[in-house]
Amino acid sequence: MTVNSESHAIESILHESRLFPPTPEFAAAAHVSGEAELDRLRAEAEADPEAFWADKAAHLHWFKPWDRVLDWNPPFAKWFDGGKINVSYNCLDRHLGSWRRNKAAIIWEGEPGDTRTLTYQQLHREVCLFANVLKKFDVKVGDRVAIYMPMTPEIAIAMLACARIGATHSVIFGGFSAEALRDRINDAGCKLVVTADGAWRRGTEVKLKAAVDDALTQTPSVTTCIVVNRTGSQIHMQPGRDHWWHEMMETVNDDCPASELDSEHPLFILYTSGTTGKPKGILHTTGGYLTQAALTTKWVFDMKDEDVYWCTADVGWVTGHSYVVYGPLANGATVLMYEGAPNFPEPDRFWQIIDKYKVTIFYTAPTAIRAFIRWGERWVLKHDLRSLRLLGTVGEPINPEAWMWYHQVIGKGRCPIVDTWWQTETGGIMISPLPGATPTKPGTATKPLPGIDIDIQTRDGRSVGVNEGGYLVIKRPWPGMLRTIWGDDERFRKQYWDEIEGVYFAGDGARRDELGYHWIMGRVDDVINVSGHRLGTAEIESALVSHEAVAEAAVVGRPDEMKGSAIVAFVSLEGSRTGNDELKAALREHVAKEIGALAKPDDIRFSDALPKTRSGKIMRRLLREIAASGVVMGDVSTLEDFSVLEKLRTDEE
Ligand code: PRX
């Protein structure tokens, strides 16, 4: 395995033996109560997976029932084919016939402190209005709509409006640059862009519309841009193309019945990083995706009507799609949404919000938890967190120390922690404790959910033994699975299904302990997980070499206490150029411009040459070792020129 840099962490957590069973009170009230019940559900799903998923899908509203639960023509799956369904109907209209009509669907707080609450009835109305705005600009079933927005209720409204009329949305995280936005818009051939003048982040404005203006100079498919007035700053509005959201909403009525869509209708495309420079447009469809998002929200978060649920992820990531918008709203939950940074104006903003709105379920990333630890307990102690009853994490392995801090300082030892493993590609949670059933152990996502068939295998498809490392694979199709990479079935097949025969290759290393609990050891490919965000090293390399001073670049991850991985770039320069701090700063800015600030290298090292094999392949493994520890322990027999390595090592000292 090539998870060298992670093996130290694995060593230390091997000795983790603390078990935290759910309290009897929590278990008694939970949707899934006790391990025996969970085992029974697993056995039931194992015995007849299709019947299990059909039963879960039946909890949704279908205009027409499906003909077939699963049509599996590897690697292409169709779930609930023949069925007609609408995600927006399931998230909204379904609740209007009950008391939930007047329940808060979204409670929102902006970074400056402004707030808004939308009941299901009000959210429904806004979604219908905006769906009619989309129609007014000729957006039809199957058209793609790009969404590049701040975390305001309008982002959810825009997504649900697309879903309502069968337009496929592609949300692009607001931290991506104009160039990244342009490439994603062009790859999907979007017709319309929804954005805002700006977003508030740490007290300053992120200028979204300016980035859109840049991007739209090279996006021939875009005819219309709708702009939310969020910050009120001066922006350019191009006549004929750009329209204000609030003005357009006044030109339409609120009557917009939800379209009856095929279960396999494309709901959204979400771009994620892979092993090549080109981001992959992960395609998710309708009926199967919603079935899994809704079920996992109910079970993993033990979602109840009284809960105030807060997932801190930005809607620009898959966590925001499945667990801010679709899963919770399909359950009729109350979702808290916050626009800004956790440390603005002070590092206690999150705890203040939990206290103010009496949040009961809190779902965040390990990297955030590590930041909270650094900022100190005193910020937590200023607030009353007694409303919390359940905590969750996602995005990267959580180190047991951070888990224990989360458990004790935030959860006061009372709240179960659900460590949820999944991916953009899986659509929904795959491995996780159920809080009223699974005894948890710090650092492990525990076991696959019922209906999910996970294994850990060697390259040649052999299941590994207890505590042996291997590749995490998924053996059976699941309803929320990606259907393809947008426009590239071949890449879809190659990337996920050709690596190990007959199974889905997740790209993570893992092992299973004697309890059958899964320990994720991190990525095994050239993808690094920086502060819970997935970045392809090839993407950053291609940004670097597009700078005129750079001849060649290799990017690797280095274990980092706060971020999980830090980005280290080894760069060789053109001709007689020499590296200095000024050039380092310029290269960091260049990467921010090409991809976004989240991809800026933490460390840039200049070198005359990079270590290569005789066939000219950069030996990233060596660079990873140099970045992590300054020494190379592994095999160097295939290295072409040993002096390069010597030089890199000396530079390091
Ligand atoms: O490496 C795993 C890590 O995040 C990757 C998926 O990243 P992304 O598609 O951006 O989705 C993140 C949110 C679902 C995985 O391949 N990962 C995610 N959750 C966990 C995790 N690693 C360990 N433990 C987790 N709970």
Q: What angle do CA 326, 328, 333 make, to 5 degrees?
A: 140
How large is the C-alpha radius of gyration of the chain? 24
Pocket test for ligand 1, best of 426, 431, 520 (most atoms within 8 A of CB): 520
Question: pLDDT value at position 353?
Answer: 98
Distance, in Å, from the CA atom of 41 to the CA atom of 49, rounded to the nearest integer, reads 11
Is residue 627 included in any domain, yes or no?
yes
Residue 121: how many CB atoms within 10 A of its CB? 15
Say yes or no: CB of residue 519 within 6 Å of ligand 1.
no
Is residue 399 included in any domain, yes or no?
no
Pocket test for ligand 1, best of 529, 530, 531, 563 (most atoms within 8 A of CB): 529
Q: Contact at 8 Å (CB) between 328 and 428? A: no
Ligand 1 atom at shortest distance from the alpha carbon of 522? 1
Question: pLDDT value at position 609?
Answer: 83
| pTM of the model as a whole | 0.93
Is residue 204 included in any domain, yes or no?
no
Is residue 570 included in any domain, yes or no?
yes
Alpha carbon of 644 to ligand 1 centroid (Å): 35
Say yes or no: CB of residue 272 within 6 Å of ligand 1.
yes
- By DSSP bridging, strand 192-196 and strand 144-148 are parallel
Is residue 286 included in any domain, yes or no?
no
Print the domain residue range for 532: 527-652
Say yes or no: CB of residue 445 within 6 Å of ligand 1.
yes
Is residue 406 included in any domain, yes or no?
no
Tell me the pLDDT of the chain averaged across its residues. 93
Say yes or no: CB of residue 321 within 6 Å of ligand 1.
no
Alpha carbon of 169 to ligand 1 centroid (Å): 22
Is residue 177 included in any domain, yes or no?
no
Distance, in Å, from the CA atom of 420 to the CA atom of 431, rounded to the nearest integer, reads 6
Beta partners for 474?
454, 504
Q: Which residues of 46-68 are buried (b: 16+ CB within 10 A; e: fewer)?
A: eeebeebbbbbbeebebeeebee
Say yes or no: CB of residue 119 within 6 Å of ligand 1.
no
The owner of tokens 């205009």 is: 63
Alpha carbon of 472 to ligand 1 centroid (Å): 12
Low-confidence residues in the chain, pLDDT < 70: 1-16, 633-640, 642, 646-653
Which of the 8 DSSP states describes residue 502?
Answer: T
Single-letter amino acid code for the residue at 612: K
Say yes or no: CB of residue 423 within 6 Å of ligand 1.
yes
**Nearest residue CA, atom 5 of ligand 1?**
423
Q: Total domain count for the chain?
A: 1
Distance, in Å, from the CA atom of 517 to the CA atom of 604, rounded to the nearest integer, reads 38
Say yes or no: CB of residue 570 within 6 Å of ligand 1.
no
Token pair belonging to 391: 């905590």
The owner of tokens 């699963």 is: 70
Token pair belonging to 258: 């939800």
Angle separating helix axes 620-629 and 642-652, nearest 10 degrees: 20
Is residue 548 included in any domain, yes or no?
yes
Say yes or no: CB of residue 527 within 6 Å of ligand 1.
no
The CATH number covering residue 572 comes to 3.30.300.30
Q: What is the dihedral of CA 61, 65, 66, 69, to 10 degrees?
A: 70
Question: pLDDT value at position 556?
Answer: 94
